[in-house]
Structures are given as C-alpha cells and as structure tokens.
Chain A
Amino acid sequence: MGVEHLLNLEPTDLKILRKLAIDPRMRQVDIARDLGVTRSSVNQVWKRLANSHGFRVNSVIDYGQVGMALLFGWAQIPSTSKTLASFRDWLESSVFVSDTTYSLVSSTTYSTVYFEAVLPRGERVWWFTKQLEGLCGAHDDIIMVHDTASEVSHHLNLGLFDGSHWDFDEGFRFQASTGVARGYADVLPVTNTLKQSESGSGSIVDMALLSAVQQDYHASARQVAAGLRRLGSRRLSERTLRRHLEQIRNWWAMPYIELDNIGLAQRVLVCVENNPNEQSLSRVLHVQAGALPKARVVSGPRLSVLDLKLPISSNLVALSSSLERMIRHTAQPIIFIARESMTRKALENLLSYQAKKLRS
C-alpha cells in the first residue's frame, strides 16, 4: 500500500486545521484573530505541520480559463491481458496525463486503469482520445470510457478526526443519509466545488500563474516572477502579477488543504457512468463526499469519479454497499482499492512542455 503513516495531531493543530478546512482562504493573521492567539504561534504550528504532515494549501483550478480541458476516464482490461501493461506504460509516460492509477483489489476479473489528463482544447483532445481508443479499441474484451470534467470538488472532513483516530460511519448511517440526499439533490447546497469553463483561452503567463496557485494558493508575486523567468517569459511588474494572482484566486481557483500522514492509507475509487436521464447523481456525489474523511470528485456530463482516501481499517464492502444503493438504478459503479498514483503531475509539467514548444 501507500507510504501514508499516522503522525498524531495535537489539539492546537486540529483547531487551526479545522478553521482552514472550513475556509482554506484564511491567512495566518485571520486565524490568529479568530482564535485569539498571536500570529507567530499560528506560524509556528503552520511550519511544524508543513514539516511533519506536508501541510499545504493547494487549489482546484479552472483549466478552461486557459484553454485547457481536464479529460478523465477508465479502462477495464482483463487482468491477464498484455494490453494492461502497455496501456499503463503509455499513460505514465504521457506528458498530458496528470494522474493515473489502477485497481489493486476489486470484485471483478478485470483490472481497472483510471486516468486524468490535462490538454489544450481542440485538436489535442481529439488526438489524445484517438490514441486511447487505438490502444484499447482493438480488443473486444476491453471497455474504455472517457469524458471532459465539468466540476471538481475536494473535501477533507477533519470533524471526523480526533488527531489519532478517524470515526466515521461508512455503513448504515451513511447509506441512510445518502439515500435521503438523493431525494433532495436539486436543493442541496454544493460546496468545495469548482466548475470548469468551456470558453477561455489564456496566455502562457496565465497558465504559469494558474499553475503556481494550483500548487500554493497563497503563492506570492515574487515566487511567480521567478517561475516566469525560468520559462523565459516576458517580465511583468510584481504589482501586475499581484493583480493577476488576485483575479485568479477569486475566479479561477478554489483552495483546499492537503495533509499527509493522517492515517488515510487506503485509496478507493468509485467510477460511475451517469444515466443521461438523471443528472442528480453527480451532484449527490459532490455533496455526500463531504461526509467521508477525504475525497475528490470529478464529474462530467457522462462520467463521475469519487476518489477517496480512507483509513486502512475502513470497511470497503460496507461503503460499497452504501454507495451502490445510492447509485443503483442509475448506473453500475466500479469500486476498487487503487494503488497510490504513480503519476501525479500538476499543470507545471504541461507548462514546461508548452513553453518548450513555443521556444522551438
């Protein structure tokens, strides 16, 4: 399994983290004011958590604003097929693929390979999907589906964590509340979700800024300027950069906190083909994911994926049973324990590729 460990969190750490989990936009000074403590004490905890738990504030970004699309999908390939290895290798070597993983444990005879790719909209997407289809399409026993993401959400529910132990119900209570949520899907408040635009066409500078915010929501103009210099881009004043960054933070990015070593060592993927006659399912997934320890949901018009990080002791079959009851009548979900990602690239990689291409 992954390299995730459990390093206990102190009550002070949790106080700060829970504030941030609710509003990741908060800066140290805001937290200090809210908690009635000094900024330096918040800064101390912040730095300690960065060292011990890889604490950072990342962002979900709107790729559409810079003319990109987030493509995602999965292939079900017989475990004994030679195509399985070649498909995985191709995905892992592709510059456009931002994440790929595959099933370690599932209740089927197939291995499922999941992928996400960030591509310039238009011809590149067409080329990429043709490549995917070429690799899988020649075989009758391989099923491959893909879609373009229209919404992405991130959830970390620290209310379920006491610093050393996760207490959540993946069984009956989760099933019951999810069943009820399904009935009120249209009016449920959706939080932590960012829509992907379909019509932007940003410059390489916008891409660089977006990339910086993706990796650090609070990235400073100075850091961004250094990054732009490395790309050989034109010089912009720090003031201009600050203005751009502010705009990106406000409109093109949604922050979330990332923490490692909190005992979430099991990655579980739930892949669902949406029923075209029922659009409420992805909405319920975005909402109910918040009831679980850590989740990311990507959804498009045809597909949805729920990417979960759970404690190793959680009961996958109980959770599957609950999810299946929510999804059933709409689609047959594919649920599996996934390998920690071999490839998890931010926009930065693509940016270097684009910059090189422009230079040549």
Chain B
Amino acid sequence: MFRELASGQGAFPKISTPYDELFPSVEDASSRFYLEAIRLYLGLCAGTVTLDDALRFVERLKQNPEFAKSPCDPTLAPVNEHFKTKIVENLITLKKYNLHTPDSIKSAYSFAFLVEEAPMNDKDLMVLSHLVKFPLAPANKVAEFLGIAPKTVVKSISRLKKDHTVRFSCLTDNSAFGVQSVILFFRLAEGTEWSEVETQLAEFPFTKALLKTEMSDIGYASFMFPGEDREISVLESSTRKLTGSVFDYASLHVQEGASSDVNLSLFEEGAWVLPEILNRPDDLESAESAHVGLHNLPCRGRMRGFQRKDFAVASQLRSDIRAAPAAISHSLRIKGWDIEPKEVAYSTRKMIDHGILEPDVVFGGLGLSTNFCFEIVCGPLWKRRIVSLASQMPATMSYLSPRGVVIWVQVPSQHQVEYYQFIRSLERKRGVESVLPIMTLAQKGSRAMLDLVRHWHLEGDFWYVEPDELNLAVYLQ
C-alpha cells in the first residue's frame, strides 16, 4: 500500500486512506508533518499500513523539526472509532473552511485526540484499580486476586488500552546511565514571541518536551543529556544569561527523583469525591499523617553494569512495560537496535531489581479532564509534604529537584477550583517560596529518550556531549 512520493526531505512513503480526498494540498513542512501523522493514523485504522511500517514511518516523521515542538506519534494512540471519527470530522472542517495553515492543521490533529469520556464497566474498574498498584501483575494473578476469569482480565486490559487510553509505562532513573533530566520553568520576557522561542528551543538538540499554553506566558522545557555537574553548570549559566532578555523568570530543576500516583479510592460509585486533606490543610504539616506515594523512584547516580542497550530497553518500555520482550525487541530493531528478546527480558528484570525502573500506569478519561502543572519552589520538608499530598489526589506525576517539585495533576473538572486553589495556597506556607501554575489540555507527549541519543557522541561504552554544546544561549539569542 506504499507508494513513493517526493517530499521536502527526500522520498517519503505516502499511505493510502479511504479519506484521501479530504486531505488539503500543502507546501510547508510543518503542515505536511501533521497531515502525514493524520494519514498514518487513518491508515492504521483502515489497515492500509502495518504497525511495523507505521513505526518506520514515525522514525521518518521524527526528522521533521516540528516533532520536537509537538511529538506526534500516531502509533501510540489507540486505534478506535471515536478518534477516527473525530479526525475525519476535523479533516472535513479543514476542507469546508479551506484552512491550510500549519496552526489549523496542527489543531485538527491535536483536538482529535482529546480523551472523551467512555463509560467504564465495574470489572474494568476493578482490573484498573489492581493494576495501578501492580502494573506488571500477570493476568492470571490479577484474575486470582479479583476472583474473576483470566480471560476477563485480558479482555479488560485490552478495553482499558483501547477505550480509556490506559498505558502501562514506567518511571526511569536515567542518572544510573549517567544521563541528566532537567526541566526549565520560565516566564517569557515582555515582547518575546513564543513562536520564535519555541522554534529555537526545538532546535536545541537536548530538548525532550516543550509546554506553554495560550492562557499564560509561563511554560517549561525539559532536556536530557549525558553528563555530570560540569554539563549542568553550562546549561545553568547559559539560562542565567537569558534571564532578562528572553525570560523574565527562569528556574532550572535537575531531577533527583520522581513519583507517580493514582488514587482510585476517591472514585466512589462512578463519581470522584474530594480527599479529606482539602478540608484539613493543616494535616499536611503533621508528620503522622504523611502518605507514601504509590510509585517513587529516587535518582541514585551512575551505576555499574548498565549499558547503552539497557538504556534503549528502558526507553522502549516507557511505551508499554507489559509488552512481551519479543515485541520490545522487534520495536527496537526497527529503530536500529539489535537486542534479542532474551536480553530484553534480562535487562528489564535487572533494571527493576536495581530500582532503575518503576512500573506505573498512565491514563486519560474516567472523568479526569482537567490538567494542571505546578512548579513549587520549596525546601526539603515541603518536598516530602507535597509528595504525600500528591498521593492523596486523583492522579499525579511529580518530578523532584533540589529546587522543589514540578507536579502534574489530573482532576475532575467539577473539582478543578478546589484543587487549584489548594495547591496555589501553599505559596503562603513558610518554607514554600513560590507556586507557578500552568493549565494544560493534557500531559503533552515528549520525544522518546532514544530519539535524543542521535545527538550524543559515543566514547567507549557510553555517550557524552561536549559541555559547550549545552550552551542554550547560542540557540536563543
């Protein structure tokens, strides 16, 4: 079903879909990027492209600079009727209004994949409740625990993935590989155009994710690179240089840990209830009531015995940690990594045993339609309290650094004011310096860890980058 087509970046395979007549003809690379992503998704829905070919196709999409701004990977989206209908409707709207701009085509893609509510049956909820605590539990163990048939569990998992965008992922301690994860929270200086800064940040080879919503001038960029203090200090000092010109506020968080929590005990009889802590905020300051997060992973620094291949496996496992080793091996082969299934299984076990991987579950739906991200600059005591608070909220992901916590929160829309005001009010606590909020559509995707590797240099058994390459000011001035 492939035919070769000339494109701006060499021959690019074009996928046939039943909706070809709806695709506008465009020239610029950005518009083409989103249209090709749409085409790929519709091709997967129609069966005109195999998953293997789709994965290869995505590798080509990643070469488009637009990918760093908006990492669209249609192979990660569940193939279902709802998303397909939305995307076809959006193509019809593009055609109806004769819209060809990159902005409108990007919106046609991104708005189609907003998770909409699909009712979750009791069995699926039971299975999900168990899996959020034990993401790797085999189906027969889940079945045994819940007193239902293993076949029911398998079907539930499939429905959860397809209809409720449940993804079995993992937190990774990249410091074990000598790789640093850093988040730059910023507020643009007056007169600075985000579109320009976004393009420049996307060109920075170590950018993993970008987020700035239309509602505010606050945003963040996350970076990943091999290195130690020397490399981090170059990035830090270049960020300082940009403060006052590009940014009027810049705050760099070097990851020292992460945690991820889902609190389904707040989901009672089909509706979310508010946690007690919101009525008794002072409890947050009492050590006795401290909660422990569901999945926590401290960064413990470089560990012997972990190689590039392990890093590649870890990167791939983030897409689906429950996938069979053979499937992971196959996906890695498409990306140019030759790692046998046996090696994948061994590497996975080794990383879990050494606390480098912490399996978790990520999902949309179930009424958690409001997404916030907060940068909380605070001392160590408040970091512990915030991790404790996170575990009492519906769904959270926290990123810990010496400066404080960056926390992503998913809450039901009917409680968005209560959660927002509660977290913002922490700013008034002694020991909390500031709380900066961003409202987002959803936790935006990021470049896969392996996509960044192509910008790193190889020396002996591992990667490195020259410290000067981390001078962000070269890109942003």
Contacts and interface: CB of A to CB of B under 8 A. Distances in A.
A313 B97 contact: no
A76 to B, nearest CB: 12
A171 B104 CA distance: 11
A317 B103 contact: no
A80 B427 contact: yes
A216 B19 CA distance: 53
A315 B94 contact: no
A49 to B, nearest CB: 26
By CB atoms of chain A within 10 A, which of B96, B215, B420 has the most? B215
Interface string A306-344: 000000111111101101110010001001010000000
Nearest to A104: B417
B158 interface: no
Contacts of B80: none
A318 B111 contact: yes
Given A172-B90, A176-B104, A180-B97, A313 B413 contact: yes
Contacts of A315: 114, 369, 413, 441
Nearest to A321: B214
A176 B215 contact: no
B218 interface: yes
B89 to A, nearest CB: 8
B142 interface: no
Contact of A317 (B217, B420, B437, B440): B440
A321 B441 contact: yes
A324 B214 CA distance: 6
Contacts of A337: 416-417
Contact of A105 (B416, B427, B440): B416
B114 A318 contact: yes
Contacts of B96: 176
Interface string B433-458: 01011111100000000000000000
Given A107-B437, A109-B436, A320 B213 contact: yes
A125 to B, nearest CB: 30
Nearest to B417: A104
Interface in A171-208: 171-173, 175-177, 179-180
B237 interface: no
A130 to B, nearest CB: 27
Contacts of B414: 1, 312-313
A317 B439 contact: yes
A106 interface: yes
Of B94, B108, B111, B414, the most chain A CB neighbours within 10 A belong to B111
A108 interface: yes
Majority SS of interface residues in chain A? Answer: mixed
B40 interface: no
Interface in B371-429: 371, 413-414, 416-417, 420-421, 424, 427-428
Interface in B296-313: none
A79 interface: yes
A176 B97 contact: yes
Contact of B112 (A80, A172, A179, A324): A172
Interface in A138-180: 171-173, 175-177, 179-180
A172 B107 contact: yes
Contacts of A318: 111, 114, 441
Contacts of B265: none
B407 to A, nearest CB: 15
B77 interface: no
Interface string B204-215: 000000000111
A314 B370 CA distance: 10
Contacts of A79: 424, 427
B99 interface: yes
Contacts of B440: 317
Given A172-B112, A176-B99, A318-B441, A107 B107 contact: no
B7 interface: no
Contact of A108 (B218, B370, B421, B428): B218
Interface string A79-123: 110000000000000000000000011111100000000000000
B439 A172 contact: no
A171 B369 CA distance: 14
Contacts of A317: 213, 215, 371, 439-441
Interface in B195-228: 213-218
Nearest to A317: B441
B420 A325 contact: no
A79 B428 CA distance: 10
B93 interface: yes
Contacts of B417: 1, 104-105, 337
Nearest to A108: B216
B88 to A, nearest CB: 12
A79 B215 CA distance: 17
Closest 3 A/B residue pairs (Cβ) = A324-B214, A107-B216, A107-B215
7 contacts: A107-B213, A107-B438, A176-B94, A313-B413, A320-B215, A321-B107, A324-B215
Interface of B: 89-90, 93-94, 96-97, 99, 103-104, 107-108, 111-112, 114, 213-218, 369-371, 413-414, 416-417, 420-421, 424, 427-428, 434, 436-441
Given A108-B218, A176-B104, A179-B99, 17 more contacts: A1-B417, A79-B427, A80-B428, A104-B420, A105-B417, A105-B420, A105-B421, A107-B437, A171-B114, A175-B111, A176-B93, A315-B369, A320-B213, A320-B215, A321-B214, A321-B441, A335-B215
